[in-house]
Amino acid sequence: LVEKGARRLTLWYAGSPVRSFRVALGRSPVGPKQHIGDGRTPEGRYWIAGRNARSRYHRALEISYPSTSDRTTAWQSGREAGGQIMIHGLPKGADWIGKHHTGLDWTSGCIAVTNEEIDEIWELVSDGTPIEIRP
* Rounded-to-integer distance, Cα 91 and Cα 102, Å: 13
What count of Cα atoms within 13 Å lies in the side-chain half-sphere of residue 66? 19
Render pLDDT for 51-104 as a digit per residue (tens, 0 to 9): 998 889 999 999 999 999 999 999 999 999 999 999 999 998 888 888 889 999
pTM, rounded to two decimals: 0.94
SS3 of 84-97: the string is CCEEECCECCCHHH
Of the candidates 28, 29, 27, the residue with the CA atom closest to the CA atom of residue 3:
29
* Rounded-to-integer distance, Cα 97 and Cα 93, Å: 9
Q: Which amino acid is present at 36?
A: I
Render pLDDT for 12-59 as a digit per residue (tens, 0 to 9): 999 999 999 999 999 999 999 999 999 999 999 999 999 998 889 999
